[in-house]
C-alpha cells in the first residue's frame, strides 16, 4: 500500500498546479481590490482579469472578447442554454443522451416551458449515432448541445463535423468542452461552434472558475443580473484569484498537452490491456477517447464496492459520475450506450493526470487484481 493515497479521479477534479497556486496567492493577499473600483487596487484587479481572459482565449484560439468568466462549467452551460433560448419562442432543441446533467437539466427545465427536447442516441462506444443525428437535424432544432468528450467514458465526438451539420440545419451549436479542454486540441474557430464551455478545476486550476467562450455574433440573455460585469452577461464581483489561476492553468495545460497526452495514453493502454486480461470489460473501447480515462467493470462486482476497497487500499477512483450528487442509480451514460443496469452498476472510472506515474499504475493494477479476485470469490460463495 502506498504511503500517500494515489489519486486516480482527475476527471472529478484536479489538484491545483503549484504554479497556478503561486499565481493566485497574491490575489487572496495584498491585491484584494474589487475589479470594478476605479482606484489603483481596483484597476490592478481589472488588469489581471484581462490578462487571464487573453490566456484562456489563446488556449482555445478565441478572441479575448469572446471569453465570459463564470463560477464554473455548470453555470456556463446554464448561461448559454437559458440565455439563448430566453428571447425565443419555444421550439425544438437537442442534446446527446450522454450530456452532463448541467446541460440536460436546464433543457428539461425549459421543456416544462414548452421546448421539446430530443435526446440524440449514441452507439455502444458512446459515439453519436449518425443516422439518428441526421434524423434530428431534419427536425430543424434551434439549438444543439454536444459535449466534446464524455466525463465518464472519455469518448470524444467529432465536434467540427457535428457543428457544421448543425449550422446547415440552422441550429446554434453549443459544446461542453469541460472534460476535453487541456486534454485534446480545441480551436474555437476551426470547430465552428457558437459557444464552448470550459472549467478551471479540471485542468489544474482552482474550483470556482469557468468560462463560456461565445461567438461575438451571438445575443444572449444574462442568467445573473446586476452590476453588469462580463459585458452584462454575468454580473457579480469577479473572483479575481480564481480567474487569474484559470488563466495560468489554461496556458500550462495547453503547453503540456501533446507530451502529457502521449504519456497518459501509454498508461491507459497498460491499464486496459491488463484489466481486459483480468476479465474486465472496458467501456467505449474502440472509440476515440481521452488519453487519461479508462472506464471498466468486472462481471458480478459492484463498482461502489470495488471503489471502496480500492480507497481503503490507497487508490481514489470514481464510480459512476462523480459530478452528480443526487441520484445514485446506474450511470445514464452507460444506459444510453446500451449497457445493462447490472454491468453499469459495476462501473469504475480511472482518470489520470499530471502527477500520475507508471509506478502508481502498476500498484493500482496489482491492487485491482487482488481485490477483484477476492470479491469474485466472495460473490461465487454467496451465489
Partner 1 sequence: MLKLPIYLDYSATTPVDPAVAQAMIPWLTEHFGNPASRSHAFGWEAEAAVEKAREQVAALVGADPREIIWTSGATESDNLAIKGAAHFHQEKGRHLITVKTEHKAVLDTVRELEREGFEATYLDVQKNGLINLDVFRAALRPDTTVVSVMLANNEIGVIQPIEEIGAICREKGIVFHVDAAQATGKVDINLAKLPVDLMSFSAHKTYGPKGIGALYVRRKPRARIEAQIHGGGHERGLRSGTLPTHQIVGMGEAFRLARETMADELPRIRALRDHLLAGISSIDAITVNGDMAHRIPHNLNVSFAYVEGESLMMAIKDIAVSSGSACTSASLEPSYVLRALGLDDELAHSSIRFTLGRFTTLDEVNHAVDVLRRGVGKLRDLSPLWEMAQAGIDLNTVQWAAH
Which of 179, 319, 331, 372 is close enough to bind partner 1 by CB under 8 A?
A: 319
Which CB, 157 or 199, lies closer to partner 1?
199
Kind of pairing between the strands at 315-316 and 293-297: unpaired
Which of 1, 2, 36, 269 is close enough to bind partner 1 by CB under 8 A?
A: 36
Catalytic one among 102, 175, 317, 323?
A: 323
Q: Which stretch binds partner 1 (CB under 8 A): 117-125, 187-195, 301-309, 368-376?
A: 301-309
Under rule CB under 8 A, residue 67 binds partner 1? no
Segment 98 to 137, residues that bind partner 1, using CB under 8 A: 100-103, 105-106, 108-109
For residue 179, give every residue at least 6 positions away whose Cβ sits within 8 Å of its Cβ, in sequence order, or none.
11, 147, 148, 149, 150, 151, 154, 202, 290
Which CB, 36 or 357, lies closer to partner 1?
36
Which CB, 189 or 327, lies closer to partner 1?
327
The Cα 203–Cα 11 span in angstroms is 9
Q: Smallest distance from the beta carbon of 33 to partner 1, in angstroms?
A: 7
Size of the site for partner 1 (CB under 8 A): 78
Segment 335 to 374, residues that bind partner 1, using CB under 8 A: none
279-285 LR contacts (CB < 8 Å, sep 24+):
279/372, 280/372, 281/343, 283/126, 283/152, 283/153, 283/334, 283/337, 283/339, 283/347, 284/125, 284/126, 284/150, 284/153, 284/154, 284/155, 284/337, 285/125
**Contact by Cβ (8 Å): 330, 317:** no
Take residue 206 and report the three cell numbers written for it: 482552482
Which of 19, 42, 158, 274 is close enough to bind partner 1 by CB under 8 A?
A: 42
The Cα 313–Cα 309 span in angstroms is 6
Q: Smallest distance from the beta carbon of 35 to partner 1, in angstroms?
A: 9
Segment 234 to 253, residues that bind partner 1, using CB under 8 A: 235-242
Cα 195 from chain centroid (whole Å): 15
Which CB, 106 or 154, lies closer to partner 1?
106
Under rule CB under 8 A, residue 28 binds partner 1? yes
For residue 267, give every residue at least 6 positions away whose Cβ sits within 8 Å of its Cβ, in sequence order, or none.
352, 356, 358, 361
Which CB, 34 or 379, lies closer to partner 1?
34
Residue 98 CB neighbours (<10 A): 29
Under rule CB under 8 A, residue 301 binds partner 1? no
Q: Smallest distance from the beta carbon of 37 to partner 1, in angstroms?
A: 5
Which CB, 90 or 228, lies closer to partner 1?
228
**Contact by Cβ (8 Å): 115, 90:** yes
- Helix (H) or strand (E) segment spanning residue 350: strand 348-351
Stretch 258-297: interaction string toward partner 1, x if CB under 8 A: ----------------------------------------
Q: Strand, coil or helix: what is 195?
A: strand
Take residue 27 and report the three cell numbers written for it: 490575489
Segment 71 to 100, residues that bind partner 1, using CB under 8 A: 71-75, 77-78, 100
Helical segments of 60-193, H only: 73-85, 101-111, 130-138, 159-168, 188-191
Q: Smallest distance from the beta carbon of 313 to partner 1, in angstroms?
A: 11
Which CB, 127 or 307, lies closer to partner 1?
307
317 given a catalytic annotation: no
Which of 140, 189, 231, 327 is close enough to bind partner 1 by CB under 8 A?
A: 327
Under rule CB under 8 A, residue 197 binds partner 1? no
**Contact by Cβ (8 Å): 183, 261:** yes
Q: Which residues carry out catalysis? A: 323
Amino acid at each position: 500500500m502506498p504511503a500517500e493515497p494515489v489519486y486516480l479521479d482527475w476527471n472529478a477534479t484536479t489538484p491545483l498546479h503549484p504554479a497556478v497556486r503561486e499565481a493566485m496567492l497574491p490575489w487572496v493577499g495584498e491585491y484584494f481590490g474589487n475589479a470594478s473600483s476605479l482606484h489603483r487596487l481596483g484597476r490592478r484587479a481589472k488588469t489581471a482579469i484581462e490578462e487571464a481572459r487573453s490566456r484562456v482565449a489563446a488556449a482555445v484560439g478565441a478572441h479575448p472578447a469572446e471569453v465570459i468568466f463564470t463560477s464554473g462549467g455548470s453555470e456556463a452551460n446554464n448561461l448559454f442554454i437559458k440565455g439563448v433560448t430566453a428571447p425565443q419562442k419555444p421550439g425544438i432543441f437537442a442534446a446527446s443522451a450522454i450530456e452532463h446533467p448541467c446541460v440536460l437539466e436546464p433543457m428539461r427545465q425549459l421543456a416544462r416551458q414548452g421546448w421539446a427536447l430530443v435526446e440524440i442516441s449514441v452507439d455502444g462506444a458512446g459515439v453519436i449515432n449518425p443516422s439518428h443525428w441526421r434524423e434530428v437535424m431534419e427536425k430543424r432544432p434551434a439549438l444543439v448541445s454536444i459535449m466534446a468528450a464524455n466525463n465518464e467514458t472519455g469518448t470524444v465526438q467529432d465536434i467540427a463535423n457535428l457543428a457544421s451539420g448543425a449550422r446547415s440545419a440552422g441550429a446554434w451549436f453549443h459544446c461542453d468542452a469541460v472534460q476535453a479542454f487541456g486534454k485534446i486540441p480545441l480551436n474555437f474557430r476551426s470547430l465552428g461552434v457558437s459557444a464552448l464551455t470550459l472549467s478551471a478545476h479540471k485542468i489544474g486550476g482552482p474550483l470556482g472558475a469557468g468560462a463560456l467562450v461565445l461567438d461575438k455574433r451571438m445575443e444572449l440573455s444574462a442568467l445573473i443580473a446586476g452590476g453588469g460585469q462580463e459585458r452584462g452577461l454575468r454580473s457579480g464581483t469577479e473572483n479575481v484569484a480564481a480567474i487569474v489561476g484559470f488563466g495560468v492553468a489554461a496556458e500550462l495545460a495547453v503547453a503540456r498537452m501533446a507530451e502529457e497526452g502521449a504519456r497518459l495514453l501509454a498508461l491507459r493502454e497498460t491499464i486496459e490491456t491488463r484489466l481486459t486480461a483480468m476479465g474486465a470489460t472496458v467501456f467505449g473501447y474502440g472509440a476515440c477517447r481521452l488519453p487519461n480515462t479508462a472506464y471498466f467493470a468486472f462481471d458480478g462486482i459492484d463498482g461502489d464496492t470495488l471503489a471502496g476497497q480500492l480507497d481503503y487500499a490507497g487508490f481514489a477512483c470514481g464510480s459512476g459520475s462523480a459530478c452528480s450528487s443526487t441520484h445514485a442509480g446506474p450511470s445514464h451514460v452507460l444506459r444510453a450506450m446500451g449497457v445493462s443496469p447490472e454491468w453499469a452498476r459495476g462501473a469504475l472510472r480511472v482518470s489520470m493526470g499530471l502527477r500520475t506515474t507508471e509506478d502508481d499504475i502498476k500498484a493500482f493494477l496489482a491492487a485491482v487484481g487482488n481485490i477483484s479476485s477476492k470479491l469474485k470469490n466472495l460473490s461465487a460463495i454467496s451465489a
